[in-house]
Structure 1
Amino acid sequence: MQDIKREIEPELNRCASFFPVVTILGPRQSGKTTLAKNFFSDYSYINLEEPEYYEIAKTDINAFFSMIKMPVIIDEVQRVPELLHKIQAMVDKNKNSGQFILTGSFQQGLQSSISQSLAGRTAVLTLLPFSISEINSAGLDFTRDEFLYQGFMPRHYSENQPVDLLYRSYFQTYVEKDVQSILNVKDKSKFEKFLHLLAGRIGQIVNYESLANDSGVSRTTIEQWISVLESSFIIFKLEPYFENYTKRLIKSPKIYFYDTGLAAYLLRIRNSEQIARDPLVGNLFENMVILEILKAQYAKGLEKNLYYFRDSKGFEIDLIIANDRNIIPVEIKSASTFNKDFSKNLKKFCTFAKNTLNPTVIYSSQTELESEGIKYINFKNCGKWLSV
């Protein structure tokens, strides 16, 4: 078993030193439980997925807490959000730091419960699947296409679980079962068709009407499905960036997946050799790069500050990183050879966006350089680049 250190650990330690409760959110199987149990190895552990703990927590909260040895890790706390009120009362009496470590994989109800019950009492961190730099730090390395196909779920790297089995199980167990039960989907075939269609629109501006027509459901249903997929850490939106550059800006978000391996599975890509031939290779690569930057931000406990820019004439910047009052414009190219034209849009953008900083091209080439004020970096280093 490969032991891979998580880059969020220093921030986790810092939060547990100042807050009585630390809440770790993230996708199923992203490593939340492993991180919590390894980092807080002397804590007791309760998993609310286990029926006996769940039943006691639901029926008798006082009895539940009387059987707990403090400090404690409570896994999948979103299953019994009522526990948060009791935790609030407990930490108000005893304000010691690091008493509770909570994990959750469904953020919609949990976020609102936290804001109501634990405001000012908990730090909230987000743990996504492994980053490229975490995998590289463990002495492992892969090509662009291998990373895109394999995805970043810990079980593949830590337990050598085959990619096809991992994502088939993940899809059937969590995406279909969990999400469909939350949505109470009546026609599973339409929901499954919608998921495949959504993967086919990765990195594209979301068109609810088109998805509704192609899926055979209403726009309202599509909006509801996308909302739950967001809350379940299956997909995320990249919102457009607005400034007074022009009034003719696109105002709809783009859709990306929290793991490229799941997206590749939904696109019916069955090996890494298919990636380069797939018409969506550029979109998948863009998804991976944006995720790497998002992971680097979350590892430091930062909120997402990522956007894209596009006007009505089709002029686009793939990624805008908002950095205080400045912005970092980024173009993302899956190509493995240097081309000066990659920076064309960046140069144009910098002529009217005067608050730009470090315009950068992230691509597959090993050639890293700076030319005419534009940085060119390899995708494997984008997380480190952001930290500099």
Structure 2
Amino acid sequence: MPEGAKYLPRRASELVEEALSDTRVVILNGARQTGKSTLAECCLRDTSNTVKRYLDDPRSRASAIADPVAFLDATGTMLIDEVQRVPDLWLAIKNTVDRDPRPGRFLLTGSARLLGLSTLPDALPGRSETIELFPLSQGEITGTPDGFIDAAFTHGHKIRSEPSELRRRDYLALASRGGYPEAVRRDAPRRRAQFFKSYLDDIMSRDVHQVADIQRISDMRRLIGALAAQSSGLLNYSRLSSDLAIPLTTVRDYVGLLEIIYLIRLIPAWSTNATARAISTPKLVFTDSGLAAHLLTGITNDAATGGLIETFVLGELTRQLTWSHTMAQLHHYRDRDGYEVDAILEDNAGRIVGIEVKAAETVRTDDFRALRILQRRLGDRFHAGYVLYCGDQQLPFGDQLACLPISTLWSTPAP
């Protein structure tokens, strides 16, 4: 973090501290520039006998490669930053914690989905806990509760939302800012654009090459631009291959790689026996709406605007799921008749909360059509359905259905 910059507390800090109290290896995983190193240091600030190793430092990396066992020798908690840079450490860590199973032995950070990397020789089943750190949520930025998911499953359609002063242009500004701490700190659009440009360059020159041997970086860049234009849409590998003149297998490999390094996220389709007409194609979203907006600079049509607002909302839901007490999964729904629900939240009891996202400042009865169809098909499993929109107030639209301002996501306290 730049000297003098204000640190914004992260909700993941409590998760990390809890995990260190009872788990041998805690992995803090997420995209580059989300603040993993800063968070890890803050979590260990009051812990004695800590040792910190940074594998971005060539000397530390050389030491870890030369003698992994000696590198890990420490009596207290060891922080290893960017652990994916030395895959040989993985087995050495496993051996170390097997011999000494005290909790809180290692706090590891990585800029890729570590357990998905083929370069890692083994996982740590039963020995580790992974906590994902995403870009800042709106609640973390503004100091508001971020309790929508827990409130939705507790109160259903009786959830209470405060009137919002935000309108469509405000939500577009928030979506375009995104949540990377460095982008949030930059008020000037030109300076923020420079951050995103440098970020993408860094991704291409460092992260991509860490996890795969990419021969044609220009193809990867073109694919990223095309994916930004489709963010929050269904992922169509064949169309991308045809439009970009890139082999289908290459497109699939590149998309998988971009998910590993947290640039994008695939939201799985949801279905049940009650909705047999559902399709199984995943939805693709950028992890950070600000980066997607940067890639869409100059494109101002309604489809791009709607996609950006939906990407923003899905990002807020994704962040909240990492700390909400409700154990829920995020999906999307679309059937073969064309009816779709932008987000499906399903808890462990099988209850469903459906969410539609609208980039408009008004809501019509017709905006609830897909939610009503889903409600009829699911019966008692349907807990609540919301249309999140750019307007100012909450309004009922029938049994278990309501429209809510998008800001309800972060302004609502958890029960």
- TM-score w.r.t. structure 1 length? 0.90
Q: 2:342 aligns with which of 318, 324, 336?
A: 318
Q: Describe how 1:102-181 pairs up with structure 2 within 5 A.
A: 102-109=108-115, 116-137=122-143, 143-158=170-185, 162-175=191-204, 177-179=206-208
DSSP 3-state at the match of 2:129: strand
Paired position in structure 2 for 1:48: 55
Partner of 1:360: 386
In the aligned structure 1, how far is the partner of 2:326 from the partner of 2:88? 27
Q: Deviations over 1:107-142 (max 9, x none)?
A: 155667889442111111101000011111089x98
The runs of at least 4 consecutive aligned structure 1 residues that moved more than 6 Å come to: 111-115, 301-304
Is residue 62 from structure 1 mapped to residue 69 from structure 2 by the alignment? yes
* Number of residue equivalences: 381
Are the structure 2 counterparts of residues 301 and 227 from structure 1 closer, same or farther at C-alpha, using a change threshold of 3 Å? farther
The answer to whether residue 12 in structure 2 is matched with residue 8 in structure 1 is yes
Within 5 Å, which residues of 2 pair with 1:183-198? 183-198=212-227
Deviation, structure 1 residue 165: 1.4
Identity rate of aligned residues, in percent? Answer: 26
Do 1:241 and 1:308's aligned partners in 2 also have CA atoms closer than 8 Å?
yes
Aligned-residue CA RMSD (Å): 2.6
Q: Is the 8 A contact 1:343 1:361 kept in 2?
A: yes
What's the CA shift string for 1:26-85, capped at 9, x where partnerless? 11111111111112124332111111111111121133224x563221011111122122
Give the drift of 1:3.
Answer: 2.2
Q: Are the aligned partners of 1:183 and 1:225 in contact in 2 as well (CA < 8 Å)?
A: no
Amino acid aligned to 2:288? D
SS of 1:241's partner is coil
Give the deviation of 1:8 after TM superposition. Answer: 1.7
Q: Distance in 2 between matches of 1:386 and 1:352?
A: 31
Partner of 2:32: 28
- Once the two structures are TM-superposed, the CA of residue 195 in structure 1 deviates from its matched residue by 1.2
1:153-189: CA deviation from partner (whole Å, max 9, x where unpaired): 0112357683111100100011454325644333332
User: For the residues of structure 2 that align with 1:349 and 1:304, how far apart are their CA atoms?
Assistant: 18
Amino acid corresponding to residue 370 of structure 2 in structure 1: N
- The residue aligned with 1:265 is 294
Q: Would you say 1:99 and 2:126 are equivalent positions?
A: no
Q: What SS class does the counterpart of residue 382 from structure 2 fall into?
A: coil
Find the residue that maps to 2:234 and give its secondary structure: coil
1:38 matched to 2:39:
no
After superposing the two structures, state which structure 1 stretch, 85-94 or 71-80, moved more: 85-94
User: Does 1 or 2 have the higher relative contact order (CA < 8 Å, sep 6+)?
Assistant: 2
> Following the alignment from structure 2 to structure 1, what is the Cα–Cα distance between the partners of residues 325 and 99?
27
**Contact 1:81-1:110 within 8 A present in 2 as well:** no
Give yes or no for contact 2:328–2:345 (8 Å, CA) kept in 1.
no
Question: Of the candidates 232, 235, 255, which is equivalent to residue 264 of structure 2?
Answer: 235
Contact 2:334–2:340 at 8 Å: present in 1 too?
yes
What aligned pairs does 1:277-296 form with structure 2 within 5 A after superposition? 279-296=303-320
Does the 8 A contact of 1:234 with 1:258 survive in 2?
yes
Q: Identify the range of structure 1 (104-113 vs 369-378) with the bigger mean alpha-carbon deviation.
A: 104-113
- Specify every segment of 5 or more residues in structure 2 that has no aligned partner in the other structure, as ranges: 146-164
**Contact persistence 2:119–2:211 (CA under 8 A):** no
Structure 1 residues 301 and 25: alpha-carbon distance in aligned structure 2, compared to 1, 3 A threshold? farther
Query: Is the CA contact 2:267–2:282 (under 8 Å) kept in the aligned structure 1?
Result: yes
Maintained 8 Å contact 1:308/1:317: yes
Where in structure 1 are there 5+ consecutive unaligned residues? none
